[in-house]
Amino acid sequence: MCTFDIDKYRDVAKKIISSCTGSGFYKGRTWRTLSHFVDNFGSRITGSKNLEHSIHFLEKKFKRLGLENVSKDPVAVPHWVRGEEMAAMIHPRFQPLSVIGLGPSVATPIEGIISEILVVKSFEELQNKTPNEVKGKIVVYNEEFESYGKTVIYRGLGAVEAAKLGAAAALVRSVTPFSIDSPHTGFTHYEEEVPKIPIACISIEGAELLQRLYNRGIKVIIHLKMLEKDLSPATSYNLMADIVGSKMPDQLIIISGHIDSWDVGQGAMDDGGGAFISWNALSLLHMLNLRPKRTIRTILWTGEEFGLLGANSYFEKNKSNLEKFTFVMESDMGTFRPTGLIFGGGDKGACIISKILTLFESINATSLVRSSDVSSDITFWTDAGIPGASILNENDKYFWFHHSNGDTMTVENPESLDLCLALWATTAFVIADMDEDFPRN
């Protein structure tokens, strides 16, 4: 299928892997830099000072490390601020509910909303109700978790569908397979022709309690208070740095993650780990004096959580020059122990990736999964036919912590970060150093 000679890269792969593992000089550095970063800056929601201070900090760090072409690319972003939030069942008895607003939800009146609930398990069930059955009520979605891709639609469109029938507000069961009464936030959509109503997530436990009471025919009344604010738009930045290619400097291999997070937890997993293996890969290659034929560019995207804003902005600015993008990589589904790569592209490209993965037999990361949905920010490029990859890792517990107060440094493991870094840096270097361009078929 392909004649790519991977053997000439075995020594350089061993050099990179040994630097990150065992007694290597870079072992533990990704975890240390990430923990310092999230402990100092905390969560980094789009539009916040935390985010902009963290970007400025890393910009200075990249320059001190000697990375090339360090720059910031401005992006217009919204500035939504979470306010006081409270939800409680007040009839048939008093029971506080763990709740977290979705961004950019509108606020309730200052006194909140007090209303009877209507519980449904699907949009189909809701749409079978009449407007008189829904009007003025708080719609509770107690949807079952199938997968993130299938279930997140209730978080994204829950307010719109409930508002179409006259609901006063919407509460969504958190999009997670596991809970210890922990609500998970995330992005929600509004439509121009549909009234905007407040929307929040409650825990699995809270949603199931309300479902059981509702099924018994018990009238349930909830008091919901959300004092969110939608402030004037702000300017944020994608942060970029390069190792300039020795022979084809205008050809780019992108390695990336997003630097923004939600305003809960520390954003260590989503997506601190992905962002930090991406810039540490560049730093490691620089320290090892490894300069490939093409340019490797690290991009830390901003505004991902509010709709891939940074990636979309950068793509729009560069879509007339897509020929310069050879390959795109993003890590945004965890940096747990790596097992291989997820690849989006043609058969010839898959053959090359399968050969590259033989370099990682020593760390048991040789699996290849092909997918048309590789990762969020780089979708603009992969949809345009540019091949891409993300890390395949043991992330079965990723959505336990995702968009919650549980997304902290405690989730991250130093050894797993080292192995992800080794995989990421080696893959980027090999693709950037190939004699022929990576195929787009």
Could you give phi then psi for residue 401, rounded to 5 degrees? -110, -20
**Does position 441 have pLDDT exceeding 80, yes or no?**
no
pLDDT level of residue 32 (50, 70, 90 thresholds): very high
Plot region of 342 (φ>0 → left; ψ -120 to 50 → alpha; else → beta): beta
pLDDT of residue 310: 98
Q: What is the mean pLDDT of residues 67-83?
A: 98
Residue 239 has pLDDT above 80, yes or no: yes
> Would you place residue 3 in the very low, low, confident or very high pLDDT band (cuts 50, 70, 90)?
confident
Give the pLDDT band of residue 371 (cuts 50, 70, 90): very high
d(CA 365, CA 398): 19
pLDDT digits (tens, 9 = 90+) for 280-327: 999 999 999 999 999 999 999 999 999 999 999 999 999 999 999 999
The answer to whether the CB of 346 falls within 8 A of the CB of 285 is no
How many angstroms separate the CA atoms of 424 and 422, rounded?
6
Residue 75: what residue type? V
* For residue 227, pLDDT beyond 80: yes
Q: What is the pTM of this model?
A: 0.97
Residues 6+ apart with CB under 8 A from 286: 65, 66, 67, 243
User: Other C-beta atoms within 10 Å of 38: how many?
Assistant: 25
What pLDDT is recorded for position 82? 98
Residue-wise pLDDT tens digits, 253-269: 999 999 999 999 999 99
Q: What are phi and psi of 231, to 5 degrees?
A: -90, 180
Residues involved in catalysis: 304
Q: Which of 260, 104, 83, 263 lies closest to 187 in space, CA to CA? A: 104
pLDDT value for 2: 85
Over pLDDT 70: what percentage of the chain?
A: 100
Over the Cα atoms of the chain, what is R_g? 23
Listed residue (14, 24, 21) closest to 361, CA to CA: 14
Helix (H) or strand (E) holding 243, with range, is strand 229-243
DSSP-assigned beta bridge partners for residue 76: 235
**Contact between residue 23 and residue 207 where contact means Cβ atoms under 8 Å apart:** no
Inter-CA distances, 62 with 33, 36, 279, Å: 12, 15, 8
CA 391, CA 375: separation in Å to the nearest integer? 9
Report the C-alpha gap between 226 and 14 in whole angstroms: 54
